[in-house]
């Protein structure tokens, strides 16, 4: 029996906890940066709300697109261990570059964070999966534990980094996030023997081959990764280019999936896979819709909290960026409850279909935005709604997330033929990238300036935020109704996948 199936005291491979804490600190780094980014752009670099939102959307969009490339390079050349270490190093460097204190250093640092995240995020989850045999009943439980690590990192970032950054200075927050990434790097490296049973950790034979003078493929990729930072710089500066890049990538992925599905049908003599690929593309569009609105957390909702939310608690003023902690907090509180709930609903035959789960998730997202209308009933003399407004908004957004997020990756693997599983998963990640980018565009509809560029008063700003959030809520409700109406045809396209 291999080490990967020998249980330790926790009932899981001992390497799981090494990966748990490595991922926790990486998420501490990423969310620490993300939590402060919009406020840093607006308050320190004096960007307008719209410009800051577009830059934020371009950054987070590229962060989610990068793992598509990072995973492929690790599979073919780097091996998972080297890829994760390279990613961790680049992310730490990126955070420390931001300490330069101007826009140039920020954009270069963001470029390093984008590339580094592509290597780290794509491959550490793969290592977790490789610790278990395919039929190991502990696998789902192991990923649940790993998911808790992700949300602990996000929780610590949105409390500790947010508080330090807004109280003592943004540079202290970014520096703290960088130290967190170094901690993740050290934990992953020092614990390498504990997860050594996982397959695919080491550099591949292709990676060792000389391709450019004395340099082998791994060395060329490493140098090339740092040379990609200027490309990210350009894409962030000229982020409108991403309109065409992301749309083109989506069209290419959609065509590739449908073509692969048709080919699989011909080989197997069935009419299943093409339909399933069409269903997957529809779910990708729904996924984009949900997350583009959900990701207002780092942009419009944070600026709303800064300007129009009464954050005083017993004389203490909660930093605006710290309001983002509600989401990871609620994930930790409700995550296990939801996982048990789905199992129990399945046993009694009441588990909603995948389309209905997506629809119910969107309804809760809509309700979260509409709760701001209730907050308007309790506005104070400074034109601020109560903090409970955001509490209930994020509560509904998080329960909505739990209807979508946990089933998404599983759904992709079920709908896709094995020979194109990687392409399908890349397409799913691409939908998150597009969603984050579109989310930045949605955030430009809010802001502290009117259509004529004039600075809005507190009352005008509050009205604008509430109007946009309410409109988002109503549009999302309409989309949810359409999904419910189309649930039966969608289920038919899925051919039995539940």
Identify any residues that bridge with 316 across adjacent strands, giving them in sequence order. Answer: 313
For β-strands 316-317 and 312-313, DSSP reports them as antiparallel
pLDDT score for 476: 98
Enumerate the domain spans of the chain. 12-239, 242-498
Identify any residues that bridge with 386 across adjacent strands, giving them in sequence order. Answer: 310
* 317: helix, strand or coil: strand
The whole-angstrom separation of Cα 414 and Cα 408 is: 10
pLDDT score for 146: 86
The whole-angstrom separation of Cα 81 and Cα 124 is: 8
Which residue intervals of 44-169 are DSSP H helices?
A: 49-73, 80-98, 103-130, 139-156, 162-168
pLDDT score for 343: 80
pLDDT in tens, 339-379: 888 888 888 988 899 999 999 999 999 999 999 999 999 99
Q: In whole angstroms, how far apart are CA 185 and each of 22, 115, 182, 348, 376? A: 7, 16, 5, 45, 46
pLDDT score for 346: 83
pLDDT score for 451: 65
12-239 and 242-498 have identical folds: yes
CB-based burial, 280-291: b 16+ in 10 Å, e otherwise: bbbbbebbbbbb
pLDDT score for 433: 96
The whole-angstrom separation of Cα 277 and Cα 259 is: 9
CATH class given for the domain over 242-498: mainly alpha
What is the token pair recorded at 16?
Answer: 């799981």
Residue 327: HSE in the Cβ half-sphere, 13 Å Cα cutoff: 26
For β-strands 312-313 and 309-310, DSSP reports them as unpaired
pLDDT in tens, 226-243: 999 999 999 999 999 999
Q: Which residue has the tokens 């989610």?
A: 64
Chain-centre distance for alpha carbon 290? 12
What is the token pair recorded at 103?
Answer: 């826009």
pLDDT score for 9: 40
Q: In whole angstroms, how far apart are CA 16 and each of 3, 5, 298, 306? A: 12, 12, 30, 39
CA-nearest of 43, 38, 63, 65 to 53 is 38
- Are 358 and 290 a contacting pair, CB within 8 Å? yes
Segments of the chain with pLDDT less than 70: 1-10, 134, 140, 449-453
* 137: helix, strand or coil: coil
pLDDT score for 338: 85
Run of H or E residues at 457: none
Backbone angles phi, psi at 445, to 5 degrees: -70, -25
Domain covering 12-239 in this structure, CATH number:
1.20.1250.20
The whole-angstrom separation of Cα 290 and Cα 366 is: 9
Backbone angles phi, psi at 448, to 5 degrees: -95, 10
What is the token pair recorded at 320?
Answer: 């605006």
- Are 139 and 129 a contacting pair, CB within 8 Å? yes
The whole-angstrom separation of Cα 55 and Cα 239 is: 7
pLDDT score for 29: 96
Run of H or E residues at 292: helix 273-294
């Amino acid at each position: 029996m291999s080490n990967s199936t020998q249980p330790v005291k926790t009932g899981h491979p001992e390497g799981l906890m090494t990966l748990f804490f490595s991922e926790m600190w990486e998420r501490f780094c990423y969310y620490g940066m993300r939590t402060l980014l919009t406020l840093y752009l607006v308050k320190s670099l004096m960007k307008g709300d719209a410009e800051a939102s577009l830059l934020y959307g371009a950054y987070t969009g590229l962060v989610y697109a990068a793992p598509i490339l990072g995973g492929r390079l690790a599979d073919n050349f780097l091996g998972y261990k080297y890829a994760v270490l390279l990613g961790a190093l680049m992310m730490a460097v990126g955070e420390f570059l931001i300490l330069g204190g101007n826009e140039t250093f920020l954009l270069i640092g963001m470029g390093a964070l984008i590339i580094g995240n592509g290597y780290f995020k794509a491959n550490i989850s793969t290592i977790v999966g490789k610790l278990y045999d395919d039929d190991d009943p502990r696998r789902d439980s192991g990923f649940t534990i790993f998911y808790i690590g992700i949300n602990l990192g996000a929780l610590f970032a949105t409390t500790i980094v947010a508080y330090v950054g807004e109280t003592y200075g943004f540079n202290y927050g970014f520096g703290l996030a960088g130290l967190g990434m170094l901690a993740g790097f050290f934990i992953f490296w020092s614990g390498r023997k504990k997860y050594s049973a996982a397959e695919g950790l080491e550099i591949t034979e292709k990676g060792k081959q000389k391709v450019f003078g004395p340099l082998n493929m791994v060395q060329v990729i490493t140098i090339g990764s740092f040379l990609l930072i200027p490309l990210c710089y350009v894409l962030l500066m000229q982020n409108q280019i991403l309109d065409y890049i992301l749309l083109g990538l989506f069209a290419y992925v959609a065509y590739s999936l449908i073509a692969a599905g048709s080919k699989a049908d011909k080989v197997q003599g069935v009419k299943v896979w093409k339909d399933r690929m069409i269903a997957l593309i529809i779910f990708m569009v729904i996924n984009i819709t949900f997350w583009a609105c959900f990701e207002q957390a780092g942009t419009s909702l944070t600026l709303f909290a800064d300007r129009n939310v009464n954050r005083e608690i017993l004389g203490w003023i909660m930093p605006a960026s710290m309001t983002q902690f509600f989401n990871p907090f609620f994930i930790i509180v409700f995550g296990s409850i939801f996982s048990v709930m789905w199992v129990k609903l399945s046993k009694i035959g009441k588990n909603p279909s995948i389309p209905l789960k997506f629809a119910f998730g969107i309804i809760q997202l809509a309700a979260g935005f509409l709760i701001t209308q209730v907050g308007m009933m309790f506005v104070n003399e400074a034109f601020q709604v109560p903090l409970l407004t955001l509490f209930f908004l994020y509560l509904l957004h998080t329960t909505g997330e739990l209807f979508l997020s946990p089933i998404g990756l599983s759904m992709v693997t079920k709908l896709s033929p094995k020979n194109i599983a990687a392409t399908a998963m890349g397409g799913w990640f691409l939908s998150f990238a597009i969603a984050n980018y579109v989310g930045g565009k949605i955030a430009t509809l809010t802001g502290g300036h009117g259509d004529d560029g004039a600075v809005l008063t507190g009352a005008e700003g509050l009205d604008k935020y509430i109007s946009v959030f309410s409109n988002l809520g109503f549009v999302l409700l309409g989309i949810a109704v359409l999904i419910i109406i189309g649930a039966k045809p969608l289920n038919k396209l899925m051919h039995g996948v539940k």
